[in-house]
Amino acid sequence: MNRYKMFFIMIANSLLRRKARMAIALLAVAIGATIISGMITVYKEVPEQMGRAFRAYGANMLILPGGDQPVIHEDTLTNVRKTLADYEIVGITPFLYDSLLVNHQTVMAGGTDFAVLQEVSPYWQIRGDWPAPGEKEILLGAEFAQKLRVSPGDTVSVSGGEGTIVSDYRVSGIVRTGGNEENFVFVSLGDLQNIKSRPDEISLAQVSIVAGQEDLARAEEKIRTEVPGVEPQLVKQITQSQDTVLGKLQALVLIVTIVVLVLTLICVSTTMMAIVTERRREIGLKKALGADNRNIVAEFFGEGCLLGALGGVLGSGFGYLFAESVSVNVFGRGIEFSATIVVVALVMSIFVTGVASLLPVRIATNVDPAIILRGE
């Protein structure tokens, strides 16, 4: 019989003869591997998932007119989108700002694409509905609506100023943002361009990208270099807050992983020491029959590593289920299974059980067969 096969059979039988103790050790390793695998997965997935969550707080980049140009042409946004082809873009919302007369009161108006705006700025709170495409509907800021004393469903007159055509618009909704938007009114981009005779013009664009601060900085520089006539600008409050929160979360995950590793090491080490104490007579007999320290070390390390491998395999599977549950319940999105994380968790489990076996192995090699076999 192949000596490696014989060695494996000997280790396996040794573990099976001590089912209760080994079950406890295996459970400790499996739980440790579950937490480690799950935490590594969360550590890897948190930046992307949190990046998506932060998109609920609005755009993280503005596209402004460059140089002395007062406006941006809509075609330029097509070039911006092409430049950002390698990034995950949530949306690019164009805005044209100009004044309108609403019920004969001058107010700043924003023309935009409402479909994209809902994706880029989901924090806008609408009482009523968003304006429907192709309809003469207007969205009023809460402060301005209170000033006019109108509600969703009412009709207001809209014109571009004195001497221009007056049209009736239905108030589809009232918006609250906690910002200056509450003093504005919003219509479709095409309507404002037609009313003010400013075809193909926009004042700025809001861009929402799923990316960290470093990637955003590279995207900003890429737009500045490759798209003439625009000046990209990061919304630093959002990008810096995102990186700060992510850094703290990842640090917390790392600390928890280290604590779990230490606790697993202590549990396995305690179990292995108890096993060595139980097997002192067996170790003494082996030494008396000619086994040297190398054989004793190989046997106990083999048991520890096999225990770590079994626990690592079990823990990796449960760890993925744990991370999947966290991601679905916290972020509402699943995660992909990663073979790399399984390998890492398996290697760490074997490493921890190997380290945990160091002290018990040292005790085993110090056994004096003469004393043990005399029953002392």
Four-residue CA torsion sign, 40, 42, 48, 50: negative
Q: Summarize pLDDT for 80-112 with one digit per residue, the tens.
A: 999 999 888 888 999 999 999 999 899 999 999
Half-sphere exposure of 133 (CA within 13 A, CB side): 5
Average pLDDT rounded to a whole number, residues 352-366: 73
**What is the pLDDT, as a whole number, of residue 318?**
83
In this structure, of 9-23, 64-78, 168-182, 201-215, the range with the lowest mean pLDDT score is 9-23
Q: How confident is the model at residue 6 (pLDDT cuts 50, 70, 90)?
A: low
Q: Summarize pLDDT for 249-304 with one digit per residue, the tens.
A: 777 777 877 887 787 777 777 777 777 676 677 767 777 767 677 777 777 777 77
Q: How confident is the model at residue 203 (pLDDT cuts 50, 70, 90)?
A: very high
Average pLDDT rounded to a whole number, residues 5-19: 64
In this structure, of 34-43, 117-126, 316-325, 364-373, the range with the lowest mean pLDDT score is 364-373
**What is the pLDDT, as a whole number, of residue 319?**
82
pTM above 0.95, yes or no: no
Q: How confident is the model at residue 171 (pLDDT cuts 50, 70, 90)?
A: very high
Q: How far apart are the first and last CA of the chain?
A: 37
Q: Which residue has the higher pLDDT, 54 or 62?
A: 62
Look at residues 80, 21, 87 and name the one whose alpha carbon lies nearest to residue 232.
80
Average pLDDT rounded to a whole number, residues 341-346: 81
- The residues pairing with 233 across neighbouring beta strands, listed in sequence order, are 62
**What is the pLDDT, as a whole number, of residue 198?**
93
**What is the pLDDT, as a whole number, of residue 144?**
95
Look at residues 117, 56, 43, 130 and name the one whose alpha carbon lies nearest to residue 332.
56
